[in-house]
Chain A
Amino acid sequence: MPLIRKGANDKSAADVGAQGDNASLLLGGDRDQRWAAARTLADYPDGGKALAAALPNEQDPRVREAILTGLIRHPGDASVTAILPLIGSDDASVRTGALDALRAMPEALAARLGEVLADPDPDVRLLVCDLVRVLPSTEASRTLSDLLDRETELNVCAAALDALAEVGGLEARPALERCAERFAAEPFLRFAVRAALDRIGAPSPEPRG
């Protein structure tokens, strides 16, 4: 029988130990050290602070991923504050990582959504529309309706409509109709509003097409 059975457990090379110098390693170690330090710091009750401090300058995707996972394990305003700037990154993988991480800490995110939906960068507002889905449906519907009423960018409105079609209720109807009026010259948006109205159970009398 060629298959063997080993006795003792192996010692992992990745075992960095739970030493107090992980915060320094996270900032100054090589990639494997930073990865291991990020994962170890996530276990410390106050490890979020060091993780948040390291996130802005971390360029390695694997280490960044470990930091984001660690911050998810320390959900709170400090973690959200550290992650939010990444949404505006030019790198799609950074943006996606940030959005995934924020989605995984809904309570901490909820407290900051209003502020982020007022970000001067329309790309940020557009991406955050999807995150509103983490709120309870009534709150999500109200937040997206408020956004629709003040939003000037067509694509942001379209993203809000997309989310509203899924999480919105009848209470969103007035905001949807106002949006259609404001963008009456945009057939695409009028179509999106009608689709959203259909989805929330408030079909528009206006015919499609």
Chain B
Amino acid sequence: MAEPEPVTQEEFGRLCEFVYRRTGMVFTEAKRYYVQRRVNDRMAATGATSFASYFARLRSDVKGEVEQFINAFTVNETYFYREDHQLRCLTNDILPARTRDKRKGDPLRIWSIPCSTGEEPYSIAMWLLDNWPQVDAFDIEIIGSDIDTKVLEAAEAGIFGRRALMRLTPDTIDRYFHKLDDERWMILDDLRQSVRFTPVNLVEPGETRPHGQFDVIFCRNVLIYFDDASRRIAAENLFDNLAPGGFICLGHTESMSRISPLFDVRRYADAIVYQRPMEGARG
């Protein structure tokens, strides 16, 4: 099948506006090639013969095309124990601070958003089991969320390739995975069952709010895709989803201080993280 005609300037503008309104993600002219590639893929998948017919299908959400389209736009490459300095910070500093006033058996809630194909929430679970002596003392709930429903299905399935496991030691792989063949490993069922996955659009308060409040949120490498307004909305949603005194971990190139003044900066030995002030602590 021949490549479709490139989208015109006006079509590109309308499409980017549509993506922005639905997801908060901003694509400028510099990303035109990236956008065109994904439009071509979706046009081929749906049998659309022109951009106009595809865009009409998208706007009418025929057969859930909006979800398919958004799935095509998200970047999902990740691996286990990525930015493991934050995991060290989690067990060395964040959890001790969060559990100081908790009693044995109290809930401890951790949110990984976006979680992509599950490497991050599963990494958190594995790290806690291996590195936090108090892991048995609390009811730890880990939730992984993403706007991309396809990756959530993959996360639930818990099957990973060699590249996703590259940072894990052979011993860790042996303990937490079941080898399917030379290229695929499945995470053990107990661990798989310990993480719940949900679809969430980070800039939609109606979707984030029902998840309740967390002790720790990992929100890495997603705010960089948003414009200023969407970043602020996301930051305020995350603020609502943190318990007072709760912590948020961003990607190493991201800074909450440049997005919102709502959080306090906490500099620990392994990572800089952000904290929702305790009630009455300021403001």
Contact = CB atoms under 8 A, between A and B. Distances in A.
Contacts of B232: 65, 68-69, 72, 104
A65 B212 contact: no
B236 interface: yes
B219 interface: no
A171 to B, nearest CB: 23
A10 B211 contact: yes
A73 B194 CA distance: 38
Contact of B196 (A5, A13, A39, A62): A5
Contact of A3 (B128, B211, B240): B128
Nearest to B228: A104
A4 B139 contact: yes
How many A residues are at the interface, by size bracket? 20 to 34
A208 to B, nearest CB: 33
Interface core residue of A72, A93, A103 (most chain B CB under 10 Å): A72
Interface string A82-105: 000000000001001100100110
Contact of B212 (A12, A62, A93, A104): A12
A39 B194 CA distance: 33
B141 A14 contact: no
A1 interface: yes
B140 interface: yes
Contacts of A66: 236
Interface string A104-148: 100000000000000000000000000000000000000000000
B154 to A, nearest CB: 18
Nearest to B132: A2
A15 interface: yes
A9 interface: yes
